[in-house]
Every structure is written in C-alpha cells, then in structure tokens.
Structure 1
Amino acid sequence: MSIGPPHTYVTEGRKRGVSNQILRDSLEQARKVQEKGLPPVLTLRHLSSLTNVEYKLLRKIVARRQDDAYRSFLITKHSGGKRVICVPHPSLKRVQRWINQKILMNVSTHWRSYAYSRNSSIVDCAQQHCGCNWLIKLDIRQFFESITEIQVYQVFQNLGYQPLVSFELARICTRTYSSYNELELNKKWLSQPEAYSVIPFYQYKYLGHLPQGAPTSPMLANLVCKLMDEALFNIAHDEGLVYTRYADDIVLSSSDIHFTRKKAQSVIRKVSSVLTKYEFEPQHNKTSVVPPGARKLVLGLLVNNSTPRLTRTFKCKLERHIWAVGKFGLANHAHHIGFDSIWGFVRHLEGLISYAMMVERRFGESMQIAFQKTLDGNGWNNN
C-alpha cells in the first residue's frame, strides 16, 4: 500500500485490517521525510512496489545472497594502475536509479564539493583556484571503496528514514569485496553479529562498501563526506586558503605572497589528519605543492590565469585525431588507436569536443566544424 492522501491511506489501511496504531506510525514516518521533500519508504516491500522490482530479489540483495548482483571488471587509470568498475544487475540498477533520482539528488551536498552535482562542473571547480600563487593538491586513496555501509546507513537515517529501512537501503547501495584476504586484520570491515539479532537472515560477516559504477555511489559519497568537507573548509578558512573537493581530488590554494612551503606542509598534515578521522587515507605519492611561477593544473585544467584553460597537450591530441581521420580515414584511425567500433570512436571524439567547448568555447567550436568536415568526407551519417 503506497502513501498518498492521509485520509485515503487510513481508510484503505482499515479495510485491510491494519491497526490504527500502525497507520498512525506510518503516517508519522512518512511526515519525517516528506517535510524534507523526500519520498517515504516504509518497508522493503514498499520499496519493491515503488520501483516495480521483485521483493524476493531485493531481500536476497540485502542479505548478500544474490551472487550476480554486480558484474565487475578492471579498467586502466589515466595515471596508471587499475580501477574496479562494478555494474549492477539490471533490476538492482533500477532500484539504485530510483533511490538516486527520488532521494539523493534532492539532498544538498557541501557547497565546496563540485563533483556529481547538477549545477557544478570541473570548470566551476577549477575556476575557484584561478590566479592563485600557491597550490596544494591531495588525492584520496580508494575513495568509493573506503566508504562503508555503516556510513551509508547513517546518511539515510539522518534523512529521516527509520533504522531498518536505512539499513536495507544501505545494503542495496553497497557491495562486499570478492576477497577479504587483505582486510582480515582491519576491524573496520568486520560486522557485529549482535546487530542482526532482529533479522538473522541479514547477518553477514563483512561490511559492504560503495561500488564504483552504481548510480547511487557518487551522491552517497558526497553526503558521507559532508562533515569532512566542512572540517577541511574550516582549515582552509583559518589559513586564508580556497578549498574544493571533486570526488577524491582535494585542492587548496592561496594568493598570499607571504605563504610558504613550510605553511603548505603544515596544511597537508592537518588535512591528512582530518581524512584519517573520517576513515579515508591520503594517496601520499599524489600529494603536491605547486609554488609561484610553476604551471598550475586543477583537474587537468590550467589555472594560472583568470579563467581555466585547456592544456596544449589536450588540444594537440584533439587536433591530431581530426587530422588523422582526414588523412587515413575514419575506420582506419579508429582501428589504429584501439576502438572496436567506428561509432564508439566518433562518440569519444564528440565527447572530447564537447569538453573543449565547455572550457574554451571558440577552440571547441573550431574543432567541431573541422571534425564534421572530416566525417562528411568519410561519408559518415551521424543519424
């Protein structure tokens, strides 16, 4: 039974033999989240009805008994190394999309967090540091994988959802590692058996983490980090710095001519301490201090001047692709650089051009015109 007009809900509930106390409790629970502009989710079965996903499947996912809940594969990072991408089962993905669109996207993140929000972008984030003299850059190691289902549970409970529903939502939005060999000695990932005394079916030895690839993970990560963002912002404010976070990329900058490398190292220690407090680990080999006069990059964009700019490397790469398509042909060049399909390569180039237009519109438009000419010359029909 869904929550609609209160009188209709009560009348329908009485017809089904639901007690007045349960009906009152349900309406009160609905009120707690509705006053925040969020949809009520009263039970797992209610979520099943809202998302049109089978209840038994959801229950197995919550209990960690659905073996094919995710399909995992490795991709190569731009900086080297591998990243695990987890693609949820279609039905699970449907539920996660509903949770993301109906709940998470309607909750505000910290104002200095720029990733995954409707009204912010990489350019907006980089813009905050334009014209700085000093730049401090830190990276969070295994950002999504460091966030536990307990932290996700706390997000949903703070939004007003009752404990059991918050737990079930957290389980739906997290997954467990396929191997815990390296984590056996880390008590952070061990669950407490007494926590499942009410529903033993839900008991599982290990805690889950946010999977990179689930629709809910980006916004949940931002909401988990809200208090951490405030703590880091306060450090920056006290030091006269500008602070931003874009997913796992933390940047602080200063225009103070009296700022020093010694001060920068002090800030890094303070930031690292906050990250540890909130159960994250800095990627120390990616921590850097960029002094006055040096080239300054934030999220791949140059911020030495008053507005973010594309790097010369990016521009040359885009120009070279378009030139190669014109000289060697669309199919030959796509195959040469490792694309399995021409369509995939064209979409890739279109994405790069759209990104260029977002940063430097005039350059992006010139690339768009040039690419379209090469496509026409190759007889490519974009429809």
Structure 2
Amino acid sequence: MTDKSKKSYLLQLFSLPILNNLEDLSVCTHFSKKILYRLSKFNSKHYARFSIPKKSGGNREILCPSLEMKAIQVWILRSILEKIQVSKAATAFRPKTSIAQNVDQHLGNQYVYCLDLENFFPSISYSKVYTIFNTIGYIPHVAHILASLCTCDGKLPQGAVTSPALSNIICLRLDNRLNAYVGAKNISYTRYADDICFSALSDSRLWGIRNTVKRIIESEKFVINKQKTRMQGPTGCRKITGLVFNKDSYGVGRKKKRVLRAKIFNYISTFTSMSPDVQLKTAQHIHGWISFLNSVDSQGCQQLTKFSKIVFNQAVVAKKIDPAKIPAPFLKVLSR
C-alpha cells in the first residue's frame, strides 16, 4: 500500500473529508481557492488583537478571527476535529463535559496536587498542528493549509474556533502518558485545558510523582507555571478548577456565595439609581453566575434564588422598585 493509499484509508476510517488539494477544500467549504490561499498564506492579517488582564497579573493576548477565518475554522472543527477521539481525562472543550465533571473524578480522595501549564495555547506550535493533520491522513500540502488556517504567527491563537479542540488532540499523548503513570499508583488524573490535577488518598503518593510528572510534561514541550503549583490536603481549602472541593462534595465556596448574595442585594437596593445599560449588564452578570452555580451546587442556587425573591418582594411592597422595569435576565433569576 502506497503512502497516499494509507492516508486515504485513514481519512475513510475516521469518516473525514477527502482533501487532496486546494480545489477539494474549496469544493467542501464553498470558499474560493483565492480566499483560502489568502487566509492560509497571510493568516496573521485576519485576526483582531486585544489584551485582557490576568488574575495573576500581566495581560493575556486574545486573537479574534475575521468572519471569513472564523467560518472556515468552524468547518474544520465540525468536519474534522470533532471526529477525532481525545482522552477521557480531558474534561474541557468536549460535549457533555464541564468543570463539575472534572471535579467528579476526584471525589473520595483526600489530597490534591494541582499544576498549571504556562501560556497553554501559544505554547502549541504550528509544527504540532501540522503533524496532527498529517498523521490523521492528509498529504503534506493539505496538512500545511489546514494547519495555517488554524494557527497565527506560528502558534495556536487563543480566540480561534479550532484552538480548544486542537489542544485536546495534541495533548492526547500527554494525557495518556500521565494517566498510565499515575493510574498504576491509584492516583486520579484530569486535565481541564491548562489546569492539571492529581488526587489520592494519601499525600505521600502525590509527593512521590512530582519529578516524573514534571519530566513527562516538559518532554511534551509544555512548561509548568511554578506560581500555580499547589499541594492541598483536608486541613486546608482545596480547590479544583475554581471549585471548592471536599472529600465527597464540591461547590463555589462560602466566600463566593456571600459575594453573589451582596451583589443581588445591592442590585435591588440601588436599581433605580442605575442607568438602563448598567441595569441590564448587572442583571446579565448575576444571571450568568446563578446559572453556573446551579450547574455545580443546585442547593446553593436554590438558597440564593430564595434570597433574591425575598429581597425583591420587600422592595416591591415598599414601592422602591417597579417590577415592569426589571430586565429579563434578572426575571429569569426570580422565576427559578
């Protein structure tokens, strides 16, 4: 079997579109060859760049693809990337997975060892992306075009439609190696994007894996963020991907609930002094938090919803607020 035949077989095996040249890609995507060439050749010109502050300090660069680039990336995502299997340990960027499911896999364990991969998306190079497309069956020329459409300045852009799925595919070997190593030691492992977590019944097991884990991660060309590496036990506050974790349960934590409770109270108390724009944006913010809380702590969500109704009804009775002027997002909070 020739190399070309092998690649064609792989594409058919994974039910992936057969692409032998730019013409085939043009037919499948309904983009002209000229547009596809321009997008792949001059990819950096088709992103808007802006920065957002990091919680830990500094800024994170976000690259927002143009409408044309986004459209072709959506096609690549739906037609190719979503058909490629990734590790079950990868709990982000997959259908029917969430932060809650990431924590679920650690329930029952007492000790947690968490670490963070530094500059996660930008640390994934064009060559890694090219290798993925070539390995799954695309000839070098087509693999180059696809990789160029998914990268910018030679790396995976944070903000591209295809970046999350590609990161999981590229991390498959990392996930498998770490899972095999710690699984034999009765240690649980998950990775939520750049957030890696191990848990066990005893801290000695976790202390014993650190050096080998570091070597495996570095051999896969990732860098550990030393400032975000932490060992947590039952005597302190344990967090996994932002959720406060106990042996048999998890949630957003008392502090976060108190903050949200205060926001709800202040929103109702100062509603009439806000501009309509601020009223809407604050309502959307509160609704988003309540929805998230419901997904990870339904009991806590019910308590806050009940509190919202009590404070709101008191304000209505005192004629301090007009129910007809309440934005729809906050009405959804009250109607839970």
TM-score, length of structure 1 as denominator length: 0.76
Which amino acid in 2 is paired with 1:81?
Answer: G
Task: Report the counterpart of residue 4 of structure 1 in structure 2.
Answer: none
Task: Report the counterpart of residue 297 of structure 1 in structure 2.
Answer: 239
| Matches for 1:372-383 after TM superposition, within 5 Å | 374=312, 377=323, 379-382=325-328
Deviation at 1:307, TM superposition (A): 2.3
Out of 306, 312, 327, the position equivalent to 2:248 is 306
Over residues 20-47 of structure 1, what are the superposed CA-to-partner deviations in whole Å (9 max), with x where a residue is unaligned?
A: xxxxx99986553132122223322322
Task: Report the counterpart of residue 276 of structure 1 in structure 2.
Answer: 218
Out of 144, 169, 178, the position equivalent to 2:121 is 144
Q: Is residue 43–residue 152 contact of structure 2 (8 Å, CA) maintained in 1?
A: no
Distance 1:55 1:371, change over 3 A: farther
Distance 1:156 1:342, change over 3 A: farther
Distance 1:271 1:347, change over 3 A: same
Out of 27, 38, 47, the position equivalent to 1:49 is 27
Task: Report the counterpart of residue 334 of structure 2 in structure 1.
Answer: none
How far, CA to CA, are the matches of 1:139 and 1:281 in structure 2? 9
Task: Report the counterpart of residue 332 of structure 2 in structure 1.
Answer: none
Q: Is residue 141–residue 282 contact of structure 1 (8 Å, CA) maintained in 2?
A: yes
Deviation at 1:301, TM superposition (A): 1.1
Partner-residue secondary structure (3-state), 1:239: coil
| Matches for 1:120-199 after TM superposition, within 5 Å | 120-176=97-153
Deviation at 1:99, TM superposition (A): 0.8
Which amino acid in 2 is paired with 1:284?
Answer: K
Distance 1:28 1:224, change over 3 A: closer
Any unmatched runs of 5+ in structure 1? Answer: 1-24, 177-207
Task: Report the counterpart of residue 10 of structure 1 in structure 2.
Answer: none
Task: Report the counterpart of residue 86 of structure 1 in structure 2.
Answer: 63
Which amino acid in 1 is paired with 2:261?
Answer: E
How far, CA to CA, are the matches of 2:296 and 2:273 in structure 1? 29
Which amino acid in 2 is paired with 1:174?
Answer: T
How far, CA to CA, are the matches of 1:138 and 1:54 in structure 2? 44
Task: Report the counterpart of residue 356 of structure 1 in structure 2.
Answer: 293
Partner-residue secondary structure (3-state), 1:244: strand
Distance 1:310 1:170, change over 3 A: same
Distance 1:42 1:126, change over 3 A: same
Which amino acid in 2 is paired with 1:129?
Answer: H
How far, CA to CA, are the matches of 2:104 and 2:180 in structure 1? 20
Partner-residue secondary structure (3-state), 1:253: strand
Deviation at 1:67, TM superposition (A): 5.2
Over residues 186-237 of structure 1, what are the superposed CA-to-partner deviations in whole Å (9 max), with x where a residue is unaligned?
A: xxxxxxxxxxxxxxxxxxxxxx110000010001000000001111112212
Which amino acid in 1 is paired with 2:21?
Answer: T
Task: Report the counterpart of residue 47 of structure 2 in structure 1.
Answer: 70
Out of 168, 190, 204, the position equivalent to 1:222 is 168
Q: Moved runs in structure 1, 4+ residues, more than 4 A?
A: 25-31, 368-376
How far, CA to CA, are the matches of 1:114 and 1:83 in structure 2? 23
Which amino acid in 2 is paired with 1:306?
Answer: D
Over residues 308-344 of structure 1, what are the superposed CA-to-partner deviations in whole Å (9 max), with x where a residue is unaligned?
A: 2221122112211111111000772x89xxxx75443
Distance 1:377 1:90, change over 3 A: same
Q: Is residue 30–residue 41 contact of structure 1 (8 Å, CA) maintained in 2?
A: no
Identical residues among aligned pairs (%): 29
Deviation at 1:376, TM superposition (A): 6.8
How far, CA to CA, are the matches of 2:206 and 2:244 in structure 1? 20
Which structure dedicates a bigger proportion of its chain to strand? Answer: 2
How far, CA to CA, are the matches of 2:9 and 2:258 in structure 1? 56
TM-score, length of structure 2 as denominator length: 0.86
Range moving further from structure 2, 308-317 or 113-122: 308-317
How far, CA to CA, are the matches of 2:225 and 2:206 in structure 1? 17
Task: Report the counterpart of residue 318 of structure 2 in structure 1.
Answer: none
How far, CA to CA, are the matches of 1:81 and 1:315 in structure 2? 27
Partner-residue secondary structure (3-state), 1:346: helix
Task: Report the counterpart of residue 108 of structure 1 in structure 2.
Answer: 85
Range moving further from structure 2, 215-224 or 80-89: 80-89
